Homo-oligomer: A and B are copies of this chain.
Amino acid sequence: MPPHSTSVPAVVLLSGGLDSTTTLAVAQRDGFAVHALTFRYGQRHAHEVEAARRIAAAAGVVRHEVVEVDLRAFGGSALTADVPVPKDRNLIASDDIPVTYVPARNTIFLSFALAYAEVSGAADIFIGVNHQDSSGYPDCRPAFIAAFEQLANLATREAVEGRVAIRIRAPLLDLTKREIIALGRSLGVDYALTTSCYDPDRHGAACGHCDACQLRLRGFAEAGLTDPVAYQHAGLTPP
Which A residues contact B (CB, under 8 angstroms)? Answer: 65, 67-71, 73-76, 97, 101-108, 110-112, 114-116, 118-119, 138-139, 141, 143-144, 147-148, 150-152, 154-157, 159-161
Contacts and interface: CB of A to CB of B under 8 A. Distances in A.
Nearest to A113: B104
A172 to B, nearest CB: 19
A177 to B, nearest CB: 22
Contacts of A119: 74-76, 103
Main secondary structure of the interface of A (DSSP, over half): helix
A104 B107 CA distance: 12
A144 B71 CA distance: 24
Given A139-B155, A150-B150, A154-B143, A104 B118 contact: yes
A147 B144 contact: no
- Most chain B CB within a 10 A radius of its CB, from A102, A112, A119, A155: A155
A76 B118 contact: yes
Given A71-B115, A104-B111, A138-B160, 5 more contacts: A67-B69, A97-B157, A103-B115, A139-B154, A143-B154
A114 B104 contact: yes
A11 B116 CA distance: 26
- A-B pairs, 8 with minimum CB distance: A104-B115, A103-B115, A138-B160, A103-B118, A76-B119, A147-B151, A108-B111, A104-B114
A172 B143 CA distance: 30
Nearest to A150: B147
A115 B108 CA distance: 8
Contact of A156 (B69, B103, B148): B103
Given A103-B115, A112-B104, A155-B107, A67 B73 contact: yes
A194 to B, nearest CB: 24
Given A74-B116, A104-B114, A154 B147 contact: yes
B107 A151 contact: yes
B155 A138 contact: yes
Contacts of A75: 119
Given A67-B70, A147-B147, A138 B154 contact: yes
B159 A138 contact: yes
A161 B137 CA distance: 11
A109 to B, nearest CB: 9
